[in-house]
Amino acid sequence: MNEFLPILMFPVLILFIFAGVQIAFAMLLTAAIFGLIMFGDVTAYQLLTKIEETASNSILAAVPLFIFMGAMLEKSGIAERLFHAIHLWTKRLPGGIGVGTILLGAIFAASSGVVGATEAVIGLLTIPVMLKHQYDKRLLSGVICASGSLGTAIPPSITVIVLGPVAGISVGQLFNGLLIPGLLMAALFIIYVIAIAYFKPNMAPREQDDEVEVSLAERLKVTVTAIIPAAALIFTVLGTILLGLATPTEASACGALGAVILSVCYRSCKLKVLWESMLSTVNITAMILLIVMTGNMFAGIFFATGGMQTVQSLLTGSGFSPTTVLGLILLIAFIAGFLLDMMSVVLIIIPVAIPIVRLLGFDDIWFCVAFLVVLQTSYLTPPLAPSIFYLRAISPPSITLKHMYAGVVPFICIQLVVLFVILAFPETALWLPRILGAKDW
């Protein structure tokens, strides 16, 4: 058996993708071809066992529940109500609408964890408002793309729910490790928007003084009716996971029920809303779980054919230092993020990378947090940035790709700063998991 044959799985996979084959079917075809070459008819049994493994993974049950929760927040108008409440408090800040957009992104990310859905909701709500107040289209584009990307960096991220079982790491511990870097990133986004609006007010004009001023009593009323219920919902989901009171699956079920209860309280829980939310949940969940299943098939064949041992021997025999090897893995993840969606990158790279990371003596939680930040950065980076494609789909023609490409650059730099902080100061990602000590689920 040629020990280097499994390595060819990756270029074959890329060829299928460039030929227009959808990523899930590209991974399935690649796994089937190389499995048949190596093992013959036994390959069918190997692939079928991966279907059972995926279907029986209880952690993945959280995926449709979190998606349903986010869909209910969107379809029932709760997200719009929340943005209005946040806007009342941020409108007088320099770049107040941009600040409110990032806060909405952080809250929505902490509620649903679905990156594409988060960006779409934020964009539909805030693009008309920012255009009305003559925001620079570059800043507008960067703010919306960056806000949507927080769905990866702030738990409960769907990507983390998939990554945890693949890496053999507690999802709760990963959520703990990701929280501080995610909040740091959101805070730096806000500081940048305020600074650029302060020093270049033409990029983010303040709202006119002749607009209707809302009294403090009214703002407090809106806060009580909009922000506090959303905060309670976030604690029900995120707080219980971080404190080790509930598994991600249990917390997601509570969050889904909480979103329905909120929509009932706001009198927006109609049959149409429920139907559209369920339809959206089924579509997105089917896509994600199909990718997860075929990714497991791809990884299973790669491991069975000795691909892992070949990669390890190549890296260990290269003479590179452990830090250089780690940098190469993160660089490969960054490049893969251009070509593939986040789930696919996780399922292709993590099974190969985690054993190497452990062999080199690095902490696997710390590595996974850095890996997720790298993925989020590639999500924003032109020319193949998925975030820009999402924005292109919901934005008016007046906002061009040139605006979008220029707008995301400062936010990419901020993400690289956060990545440097994580790599230089591992406690950024390790302090909270050690303090809270989430249960091993």
Locate the domains of the chain by residue range.
5-436
Sequence-ordered list of residues with C-beta below 8 angstroms from that of 307, at least 6 positions apart, any chain: 6, 7, 9, 352
- pLDDT over 60 (residue 441): no
The predicted-structure confidence for 222-278, as pLDDT tens digits, reads as follows: 778 888 888 888 888 878 877 778 888 888 888 889 889 988 888 888 888 899 889
- Give the span between the Cα atoms of 305 and 32, in whole angstroms: 12
User: 16: Cβ–Cβ under 8 A, 6 or more apart, which residues?
Assistant: 25, 26, 29, 30
Lowest-confidence region among 109-123, 193-207, 382-396, 423-437: 109-123
Split at pLDDT 50, 70, 90, the class of 208 is low
> Percent of the chain having pLDDT more than 70?
93
pLDDT number for residue 249:
83
Q: Is the dihedral of CA 274, 277, 280, 284 positive or negative?
A: negative
Distance CA(246)–CA(438), nearest Å, equals 10
Which is higher by pLDDT, 424 or 122? 424
The whole-number average pLDDT for the span 101-109 is 85
Element (H, E) at 185: helix 171-199
| Residue-level pLDDT at 222 | 78
- Farthest-apart Cα atoms in the chain, separation: 77
Q: How many CB atoms lie within 10 A of CB 131?
A: 15
pLDDT at 190 over 90: yes
pLDDT at 114: 65
**Structure token pair of residue 273:** 């809303």
CB 380 within 8 A of CB 149: yes
Write the CA distances from 12 to 23, 211, 268, 301, 334, integer angstroms.
12, 59, 49, 14, 19
pTM, whole model, 2 decimals? 0.81
Contacts of 332 (CB under 8 A, 6+ apart): 349
Find where tokens 């790599």 sit: 423
Q: Is there a contact between 426 and 363 (Cβ–Cβ < 8 Å)? A: yes
User: pLDDT class for 210, splitting at 50, 70, 90?
Assistant: very low
Q: How is residue 76 written in tokens?
A: 């029932």
For 122, the token pair is 């934020």
Comparing 331 with 291, which gets the higher pLDDT? 331
Buried-exposed string 309-348: b where 16+ CB fall within 10 A, e elsewhere: ebbeeebeeeeeeeeebbeebbebbbebbeebbbbbbbbb
**Is the model more confident about 25 or about 113?**
25
Q: How far apart are the first and last CA of the chain?
A: 38
Tell me 114's DSSP state.
-
Whether the per-residue pLDDT at 367 is higher than 90: the answer is yes
